[in-house]
Structure 1
Amino acid sequence: MKSIIFDQIGKPANILKLIEVTLPEPGPNEVRIKVIAAPINPSDIMFVQNLYGIRPQLPSGAGFEGVGIIDALGEGVQMETGMRVSFTSVGTWSEYAIAHQRSLIPVPDAMSDEVAAQLFVNPFTAYAMVQDSGVPEGGWLMITAAGSAFGKLVIQLCAMRGIKTIGTVRRDDLNDELKALGLTQVINTETENMAARVKQITEGNGVTCVLDSVGGHTATEAFKCMARGGTMLIYGLMSLQDPIMNAGLIIFRELTVKGFWLTDWMRRVDRQTRQEVAQNVISLLTSGKIQLPVEASYSLDQIVEAIEHTERPGRRGKILMKP
């Protein structure tokens, strides 16, 4: 079978290569999946560069989630071959992948392959983070990099819950689209003073919670925008630069800064909570109430072009790999 592999750490476009490998066999509690589609997420890019919470064991496959058809069962698996499932694993940019049965989510017929391929990482993270934000109906939540696929999900979820949102962007070309999704206010970090605008928008109160994936100067400025008792949840570091936190603000506004990683959240919450989130996410996606647009799809032998497309500014949807 063909699979995207890397045997050294570096920029994805420079080190990822398509090679022929032996068809894997599932072990106990595992299944083999014929992959239909798998997205390129920021976490995938960070993983290849050894900048993620999970460290690659070289040589390694790439890609953390996807959708496919179960084609072989390991010992102890109670599922059936031929079932279409969303799944997580390491190495989903491949013709076949091995996944633990705990990571499988049966996909309803009404859900397209393009949506099912993106079912886990962004939707579950967005749903869980909006829950953990503690922002009540009518309150203010701020999301940095609002034009990202994740940002768009948060905007839609907040709009459904009556939570007002402020989103930061670096360009204005997506503003109309973001407002159509439900974004209350948009701030261009290149042309506007973030703290001054948030103070104006919130009538001097600030925001209850900031969801940040950028770090660096953007997160440093967003930190100044929080209301007394506010919380910043950091789930990424796209700038690859640490933010600077003002100790005085932390003390005198009683602010909290926390990290968020979906892998740990899934371990931390009970089985019932995980099932409820899965059911709610699937319902929202199947009904079309939440959109997961796709901008382009590429075959495995087009991995360099796919990565380069992912890194273009102003994308309006996810990039998928389709073996």
Structure 2
Amino acid sequence: MKVIQFEQTGKPADILKPVDLPTPEPKAGQARVRVVASPINPSDLMFVQNRYGIRPQLPSLAGFEGMGVVDAVGEGVEISVGSRVSFTGLGSWGEFIIVHHKAVIPVPDAMTDDIAAQLFVNPFTAYAMVQDSGVPEGGWLMLTAAGSAFGKLVIQLCAKRGIKTIGTVRRDDLNDELTKLGLTEIINTETDDMATRIREITGGKGVPCVLDAVGGPTATEAMKCLGKGGVMLIYGLLSEQDPSLNVGLMIFRELTVKGFWLSDWMRRADAQVRQEVSKNVIEWLTTGDAQLPVEARYGLDQIAEAVEHADRPGRWGKILITP
């Protein structure tokens, strides 16, 4: 089988290569999935650069999620061969992958391959973070990098729940699309003073929660937008810069800054919560209400071009690997 592998960490386009490996057989509790499509997420690229929460054991496979068709199962696995599934597991950028049966989610016929390929990382993170934000219906939730695939999901989920959203962008070319998805207010970080705009929008109260993916100066300014007792949930570092924490603000506004990683959230959540989230996310994505656009598809032999495209500013949709 053909898979994407890297033997050293570094710039993804330089080190990711297609290689031929023997097709593995599933052991007890495992399923083998013939991969149909797998997205390129920021976490995938961070892992290849050794900047993620788990470290690659070299040589390493790449890609953390995807969708496909169950090809074979090991002992004790009840999933039927031929089932369409979404899955998580290292090595999704390949023709086949072995995954634990608990990391496989059967997807309904009404769900397209494109959406099923993106079912886990962004939708589950969006659902969990909006839950953890504690923002009620009618309240304000602020998010940085609003034009990202994740940001668009948060906007749509909040609109569905009646939560008002304020999103930051660096360019105005996606403003119309974001507004149609349900974004209430837009702040351009290149031309607007973030804290001033937030005071205008919220009548001086500030927002109760910020979801930050950028770090650096953007996160530093976003902290000033929090109201009394506000919380900033940091889930990414697109700027590759740490923010500066204003200790005075943290003390006198009683602010909380904490990290969010879906893997840890899933480990903390009990089985009932995980099942509820899975059910709600699948129902939400199957209705067709949520948009998960795909900008381009690449084969395994085009991996360098694919990861360069995924890292390109101004994308409007996800990049998929289609073995």
**Structure 2 residue identity aligned to 1:260:** F
C-alpha offsets along residues 42-87 of structure 1, whole Å, 9 cap, x if unaligned? 0000000011111111111100000011111122212211111100
Ranges of 4+ aligned residues in structure 1 off by more than 2 Å? none
- Per the TM alignment, residue 109 of structure 1 is displaced from its structure 2 partner at its CA by 0.4
**Does 1:229 pair with 2:248?**
no
**Does 1:300 pair with 2:322?**
no
Equivalent residues, number: 323
Residue number in structure 1 paired with 2:71: 71
For residues 27 and 202 of structure 1, the distance between their equivalents in structure 2, rounded to whole angstroms, comes to: 56
Residue number in structure 1 paired with 2:266: 266
Residue number in structure 2 paired with 1:312: 312
Residue number in structure 1 paired with 2:143: 143
Residue number in structure 1 paired with 2:287: 287
For residues 307 and 268 of structure 1, the distance between their equivalents in structure 2, rounded to whole angstroms, comes to: 32
**Structure 2 residue identity aligned to 1:123:** P
Mapping for residues 1-323 of structure 1, pairs under 5 Å: 1-323=1-323
Moved more, 20-29 or 100-109: 20-29
For residues 9 and 312 of structure 1, the distance between their equivalents in structure 2, rounded to whole angstroms, comes to: 20
Gaps of 5+ in 1: none
C-alpha offsets along residues 24-50 of structure 1, whole Å, 9 cap, x if unaligned? 121221111100000000000000001
| Structure 2 counterpart SS, 1:116 | helix
For residues 107 and 57 of structure 2, the distance between their equivalents in structure 1, rounded to whole angstroms, comes to: 30
RMSD: 0.7
**Structure 1 residue identity aligned to 2:143:** I
- Per the TM alignment, residue 23 of structure 1 is displaced from its structure 2 partner at its CA by 0.7
**Structure 2 residue identity aligned to 1:312:** R
For residues 202 and 177 of structure 1, the distance between their equivalents in structure 2, rounded to whole angstroms, comes to: 23
| Structure 1 counterpart SS, 2:172 | coil
C-alpha offsets along residues 82-117 of structure 1, whole Å, 9 cap, x if unaligned? 111100000100000011111110010001111000
- Per the TM alignment, residue 269 of structure 1 is displaced from its structure 2 partner at its CA by 0.8
For residues 263 and 75 of structure 1, the distance between their equivalents in structure 2, rounded to whole angstroms, comes to: 26
**Structure 2 residue identity aligned to 1:216:** G
Moved more, 73-82 or 239-248: 73-82
| Structure 2 counterpart SS, 1:240 | coil
**Structure 2 residue identity aligned to 1:314:** G
For residues 30 and 57 of structure 1, the distance between their equivalents in structure 2, rounded to whole angstroms, comes to: 21
**Structure 1 residue identity aligned to 2:220:** T
| Structure 2 counterpart SS, 1:13 | helix
For residues 128 and 267 of structure 2, the distance between their equivalents in structure 1, rounded to whole angstroms, comes to: 13
For residues 78 and 174 of structure 1, the distance between their equivalents in structure 2, rounded to whole angstroms, comes to: 44
| Structure 2 counterpart SS, 1:289 | coil
**Structure 2 residue identity aligned to 1:77:** V
Same amino acid, percent of matched pairs: 71
For residues 121 and 277 of structure 2, the distance between their equivalents in structure 1, rounded to whole angstroms, comes to: 12
| Structure 1 counterpart SS, 2:151 | helix
Moved more, 171-180 or 308-317: 308-317
C-alpha offsets along residues 110-141 of structure 1, whole Å, 9 cap, x if unaligned? 01111000000000000000000000111111
**Superposition TM-score, scaled by structure 1 size:** 0.99
For residues 138 and 320 of structure 1, the distance between their equivalents in structure 2, rounded to whole angstroms, comes to: 35
**Superposition TM-score, scaled by structure 2 size:** 0.99
- Per the TM alignment, residue 289 of structure 1 is displaced from its structure 2 partner at its CA by 1.2
For residues 235 and 12 of structure 1, the distance between their equivalents in structure 2, rounded to whole angstroms, comes to: 21
For residues 146 and 7 of structure 1, the distance between their equivalents in structure 2, rounded to whole angstroms, comes to: 34
